[in-house]
Amino acid sequence: MDALDAWLTPRMLDEKIRVLVADARRRHDLPDGCTGANACARLGLRLRRAPLPAGIDGLLADDCVVVDAALTLQARVEFSIYHEIMHHLIEEDGALIEYYTARLRRDERAYRAAIERCCQQGAAEFLLPQERVRAAIAADGVTPQVVGLLADQAGVSLAAEAIQVAHGAPVECYVVLCRAASDGPERQGHLVLGGWVTRASAALGWAA
């Protein structure tokens, strides 16, 4: 990726992430639907499961992607692997690191949050390409009900889909997912409500 000298809008940053993912797909021959384990192998990264502190799903230690051994939901495991792969790709590319280092050098927390957002978006792009989400939105529009539908069809996590719907929507909006409190086993059904809020109207909708 070329050096990013000027301030970029959120949409321009979204595009940078999409280009980074598309470039990695091409360079490492990662087909649509490639599993995280397969992607790690093709990128020369090791993958292992190990107990991690509460609240940490995964981490990247040198060339090793570590995913919390306690995660059982496969869609969430896949999302975590691709999130860590994004850390590797962003480090390797360097342009986004430089961009945020230059702009957020005095705010370590904001810097980390910005890189995390990039990794979340990139992971979602790997699992559910924006192209497919935009085609679905063009056909059916953005409705609360769309949250969950694509995730079911593609077998990806609701978080991945929510990120892609928010980025692919024709108007700026937030997609909100709520997790129901439960002591039971981890399952996708814990994310029971999907909603969206447009910045313009603050209209709110809920999917059952």
Query: Which chain residues interact with Zn ion by CB under 5 A?
Result: 116, 119
Nearer to Zn ion, 53 or 184 (CB): 53
Measured in whole angstroms, how far is the alpha carbon of residue 10 from the centre of its chain? 15
CB of 21 to Zn ion, least distance (A): 15
Nearer to Zn ion, 32 or 116 (CB): 116
**Alpha carbon distance 57, 81 (integer Å):** 9
CB of 86 to Zn ion, least distance (A): 8
CB of 61 to Zn ion, least distance (A): 12
Nearer to Zn ion, 91 or 116 (CB): 116
Tokens 């957020």, residue? Answer: 104
CB of 123 to Zn ion, least distance (A): 9
| Alpha-carbon distances, residue 112 vs 29, 80, 100, 104, 176 (angstroms) | 29, 17, 9, 9, 22
Nearer to Zn ion, 66 or 146 (CB): 66
**Do 187 and 197 touch, CB atoms closer than 8 A?**
no
CB of 140 to Zn ion, least distance (A): 32
Q: CB-based burial of residue 106 (10 Å sphere; 0-12 exposed, 13-18 middle, 19+ buried)?
A: exposed
**Alpha carbon distance 194, 19 (integer Å):** 28
**Alpha carbon distance 167, 201 (integer Å):** 18
Ramachandran angles phi, psi of 122, nearest 5°: -65, -40
CB of 84 to Zn ion, least distance (A): 7
Task: Count CA atoms within 13 Å of residue 37 on its CB side.
Answer: 5
Nearer to Zn ion, 14 or 194 (CB): 14
Nearer to Zn ion, 121 or 164 (CB): 121
